[in-house]
Structure 1
Amino acid sequence: MIVLRRSAVFLLACFLLVPDARAWGPDGHRIVAELAQRHLSPAAEAQVERLLAPEHTRRLADVATWADDIQDDPSQQALWKATRSLHYINFGDRDCDYQPPRDCRGERCVVEGLAHYVAVLGDRSQSEDARREALKFVVHLVGDVHQPLHAGYRPDKGGNTYQVQFRGEGGNLHRVWDSGMLRTRGLDWQAYAQRLDALGMVALPPATGAPFAAWAEESCRLTRDIYPDGHTVGAAYVERELPVAERRLRQAGRRLAALLNRALG
């Protein structure tokens, strides 16, 4: 079981290594959630609606950014500090082979975070509040683990310290991936989700080993090729990499739906 309390020294060490915990940006997370919502089983959809009723919503997209939003809520600072490192994973090298003692010390990474919250969500003996919180974390962390720069191996804090020029402005590669490239479509998140859903069922790599670790390894392998030459993100880069980002969104949505159908069906 994940121990959510850590000493102040441990937390400080995590902050020095952590990439920006926000992945995909709000639109990307809502797209993943909406894609999943459209493919829930009737039983799972009923459970989602029941769990989210106290949040005054029935839709996964409405809670998709909650796990990031708590960092700006003074009343949720303890939870944010305890869960911040669950949004990402730092692999040891470009082999992208998940080794828990090295890559997820103390179970403080997105792989083990997902395992923990999926278990809570599916445990009917847990309180409704605990399962509701778990649902919100699961929706968000599935998105996070599919964002390549939340599962990299380079010492650049998930691309946050890798500076680039994009559309005539300076920034970093993480921001380009979490929202910059997606915005080039000129779509709001609802229209974007509709566009991606209309493409049909996305292909998934063959399942091997523990699924959450495999998803992180997929993201890690993608980071080998997404760093632009010359620190400039131009039209050719977007043309090549935007389909990759969109495929990850579609895969995240499909896998989130399947995960919720199993846990709540």
Structure 2
Amino acid sequence: MIKRLILALSLVAAPAPALAWGDYAHRLIANIALAELTPTARAEVRHILARGAAVDTPACPIGTLADAAAWPDCVRSLPDRFAFSFPWHYQNIDVCVPFDADAKCPDGNCVTAQITRQLAIAADRRKGAAERAQALAFVAHFVGDMHQPLHIGEKHDKGGNDVRAAYGAKAPDRMNLHRIWDSDLAERALTEPPAIGPRSPSLAERRDRARGGVADWARESWDLSRTVAYPELKNYPDTCPATSEIRATIDEAYVAAARDTVRLQVERAGVRLAMLLNGAFAR
């Protein structure tokens, strides 16, 4: 009991963000990817997911690719088993200095490193059913995570977690910048007409979004945190690093500026997740 209490307190104090993009966005990313899978990759994904119950997390099932994409946030409720994965959801690369893809990734415990590692596990047919299903879930989720700008970039504020921000009727004491990007802002941006869906991007857009690799995509997210997530804030000082005890405001101008970024990043994540899975399961 004492060990569990210490673990719980350590998790409360940890700098990891709460949830990334929220359940809705992660599932949307998975469905965009599903529409882009080759027949070979789709068959292998189906094969892995058919054995998802082997992970033994009945409250957090891995039955569909959308379930898998939501699973790593769901199992945060099981810290005795999955606390090791909590630092894998983000990277927190300083936007006050030039971009460094390897920064803030001790021993590979960050989102970009784990995408590559977990993809290799998911693709390895020698691995057990539970290990492959869990790895596929991590990949599906982490590709989404790294496209949330504040899971990559930060101003010495834990990816915006230390920036209190008012959002509509929600006072800054209840909200922070990171949480707003994960939840309220994301769902609003993705559901306002015309809502994006699995087949929204054109062929040219799909090809453009599939370019590059994990490090390139991380740099994109880092740059969007630097150029959109922070500077568009009302009542936010343009300093680097950020000053302490910041209380900003998310107004309609900010929402309008961020909306296209959210939608673009979710579409990119879906197409890129499919690209990774198509490559990993090519044969």
Structure richer in helix, relative to its length: 1
For 1:42-191, list aligned pairs within 5 A: 42-55=39-52, 59-73=64-78, 77-100=79-102, 102-170=103-171, 171-184=175-188, 187=191
Q: CA deviation at 1:55?
A: 3.7
Inter-CA distance 204–264: structure 2 relative to 1 (3 Å threshold): same
Q: Which runs of 5+ in 1 are unaligned?
A: 1-7
> Compared with structure 1, are the counterparts of its residues 99 and 177 closer, same or farther at alpha carbon in structure 2 (3 Å cutoff)?
closer
TM-score after normalising by structure 1: 0.83
Deviation at 1:54, TM superposition (A): 3.0
Which residue of the partner structure matches residue 216 of structure 2? 214
Q: Is the 8 A contact 1:65 1:140 kept in 2?
A: yes
Q: Which moved more, 1:90-99 or 1:41-50?
A: 90-99
| Aligned-pair CA distance for 1:93 | 4.3
1:27 counterpart residue number: 24
Structure 1 residues 240, 40: CA separation in 2 closer, same or farther (over 3 Å shift)?
Answer: same
2 CA distance for matches of 1:223 and 1:92?
10
Confirm or deny: 8 A CA contact 1:96 1:217 kept in the other structure: no
Displacement of 1:206 in angstroms is 5.3
- State the AA in 1 paired with 2:142: L
- The percent of aligned pairs where both chains have the same amino acid is 32
**How far apart are the structure 1 equivalents of 2:12 and 2:215?**
22
* SS state at 2:166 partner: strand
CA distance in 2 between counterparts of 1:52 and 1:205 reads 24
Q: CA deviation at 1:106?
A: 1.4
Matched position secondary structure for 1:223: helix
Change (3 A) 1:31 1:99: closer
Structure 2, gaps ≥5 residues long:
1-5, 54-61, 236-247
Which stretch has the larger CA shift, 54-63 or 117-126?
54-63
User: How does the TM-score come out when normalised to structure 2?
Assistant: 0.78
1:178 counterpart letter in structure 2? D
The CA deviation string for residues 185-240 of structure 1, in whole angstroms up to 9 with x for no partner, is: 5839xx9452x632424333852xxx222222211111113120211111111111
Q: CA deviation at 1:79?
A: 3.7
Looking at structure 2, the residues matched to 247 and 96 of structure 1 have their Cα atoms a distance apart, in angstroms, of: 24
The amino acid of 1:175's aligned partner reads R
Give the distance between the partners of 2:95 and 2:149, measured in 1 at CA.
Answer: 14
Q: Is 1:229–2:234 an aligned residue pair?
A: yes
Q: CA deviation at 1:151?
A: 0.6
Query: In structure 2, what is the Cα distance between the partners aligned to 1:94 and 1:152?
Result: 9
Alignment of 1:262 onto 2:279: yes
